[in-house]
Structure 1
Amino acid sequence: MTTLAKRRPAPPRHRSWPWCRLCSGIALDLGSTRTRAWTSGRRTILDVPTVTFPASPGEDATCPIQRGTIVDTPGTARMLDRLLAPRLPRHGRPLLILTTPVLGGVAYRAEARTAVEVLRPRTVLTVPTARAVAVAAKADLARPLLVVDLGAHLTEVTLLVDGAVTDARRTALGTSDLDDRTAPTRITDAVVAMVTGMLDQDHTPHTLHALRRGTLLAGGGALRADLTGPLGEGLRAPVRPVRAPHTAAVRGAAQLLRAAHAHPSSTQASDAPRHRPLHGAL
């Protein structure tokens, strides 16, 4: 007599990314004037002014991030909730990759993580903006690389060696400060001075090799010929604006997000959200 084998129950069907509750993700770049985000499954980048939504009628919208510092954490959270919560799967716990100013320090990361909790992330990974830019540019990180981020309110110069931040400088000066009375050379001179300081204090050949290789330019300022031309002349070295430099950081974070989903063992879901750096910063 033949015994029929007991049928095994069919395994639960895995919903495709991004609608799987455990596979949704957000790449986020919080700038002083623009916030840019990419959510899994979307083809376009959300690019909006960094302004708060009033908590109650009669209040004015304000700028919650100034010169690379989060000055209004609850306002930042309200902005993110309004912009991104409707774009996430219902009851989802997204993996969130957040770009951070290289010299933002622990204080910036703490305030940013508090703000993004409104999105109920299961894991928050932080990545230095310069590293995200290099990823977006598909740069060879096995060689030293200089990255200059010409933002609206902040300009950063970062040296990456083997993909890690080894030196960084910044100035609270950006393209929004340029007007009829302020020449673009004020920014280019500041960048040249920062790179010169890095060269003087680097007892290895890394900074010099990175400079000769060509400086990678990102941020909205990289779209301005009146900045990129004089900067190359001042550095006496080639400068290479990345494609769509104003969105390079969020695009790099999105690539890292896709890589994290492709290797989910490193970011398995848990009941409590986790927070850790994706790559070390100063």
Structure 2
Amino acid sequence: MPGRGLVLDPFPGSGPHGGDERPVRRGRIVDPESCGRVLGRIADAALGPDRSDSVIVLSHPVLAGAEHRSAARALLAGLGTTRVVVLSSARAAAAYAGPRETGPLLVVDMGAELTEVTLLVNGLVADARQAESGLDDLDRLDPAKLPAVLVRTVLDMITSMWRHDRHGAIRGALRKGPVLAGGGALRPDVTDRIARCLGTRVRLADDPSTTVVRGAGQILSSVLRHRTASSERSGRPW
């Protein structure tokens, strides 16, 4: 929360990635009951008991299936909030990179358990690729090999998208420079190699590991401002 930082650690005493008890794996809810308890604790700490006017933004992996999005919606509905805004993590990252961003944009999200490359055109997902591997998997490698493996995964996905791009959107996005997010974007040995292999600059947020959640927060702020303005015009409470 602005000014407060991390409101609640849902996995106190666990390792940096939550250990075996983590109820979300590879961007999917694998333990709904445990996930519901975690969300309840977060809602109690951040929203309090009265949630009648609250709004939650849910970001999900770009290629998350409908069943996974539905499972998340069902859990959030149980919190008693008024509205849930659902969007992909790539759109959230793009919002943080620049809310006025138009035209093609390439978002590369290198997370703990997933690596995603998404092509957005005017804010809409035009193409996407996903690898079910991330930094947690690569941590088992020789540290000297990690940058090369992660960069090769990213480049293979971009190359595949380039081959299927009939309108030059990928080329236009690369000219502007891809937005890099996730923990992998904190590693200069990874980001420098991506820039060098693509022959273009790359764009990093202040804290790439929180780009998605910060972008989701910006979208939430926009939704709340719109609701306030609509309420003032109508003279009705939310």
TM-score (norm 1): 0.72
Between structures 1 and 2, the one with greater helix share = 2
Decide whether the 8 Å contact of 1:52 with 1:75 is kept in 2: no
In 2, distance between residues paired with 1:50 and 1:65? 12
Aligned length: 222
Supply the RMSD in Å over aligned alpha carbons: 2.4
Q: Distance in 1 between matches of 2:193 and 2:148?
A: 7
Which residue number corresponds to residue 91 of structure 2? 131
Q: Is the 8 A contact 1:155 1:173 kept in 2?
A: yes
| Structure 1 match to 2:50 | 91
Pairing of 1:149-168 with structure 2 (within 5 A)? 149-168=109-128
**Distance in 2 between residues matched to 1:112 and 1:65, nearest whole Å:** 10
Q: What letter corresponds to residue 71 of structure 1 in structure 2? A: V
Query: 1:49 & 1:91 partners in 2: Cα distance?
Result: 21
1:216 aligns to what?
179
Partner of 2:235: none
Letter in 1 for 2:71: E
Q: 2:64 aligns with which of 104, 111, 128?
A: 104
Larger strand proportion of the pair: 1
C-alpha distance in 2 between matches for 1:266 and 1:168 = 35
User: Which is worse superposed, 183-192 or 149-158?
Assistant: 183-192
- Does residue 171 (structure 1) correspond to residue 138 (structure 2)? The answer is no
Q: Is the 8 A contact 1:129 1:249 kept in 2?
A: yes
Identity of aligned residues (%): 37
Q: CA deviation at 1:139?
A: 5.2
Q: Structure 1 residues 186-195 or 239-248, which shifts more? A: 239-248
1:196 is displaced (CA, Å) by 0.6
Cα distance change, pair 250–238 in 1 and its aligned pair in 2 (3 A)? same
1:207 to 147, 170, 173: 170
CA contact (8 A) 1:150 1:221 kept: yes
Q: Which runs of 4+ in 1 moved over 6 A?
A: 47-50, 265-268
* CA-CA distance at 1:246 after TM superposition: 1.1
Give the CA deviation at 1:194: 0.5
Secondary structure, counterpart of 2:71 in structure 1: helix
* 2:31 alignment counterpart: 72
Q: 1:61 to 1:184 in 2, by over 3 A?
A: closer
Uncovered stretches (5+) of structure 1, i.e. residues with no partner: 1-37, 54-59, 269-282
For 1:162 and 1:133, the matched residues in 2 are separated by 14
Larger radius of gyration: 1
Change (3 A) 1:147 1:176: same
- Counterpart amino acid of 1:123? R
Specify the code of the residue in structure 2 equivalent to 1:244. D
- Structure 2 partner of 1:189: 152
Task: Indicate the SS of the match to 1:170.
Answer: strand
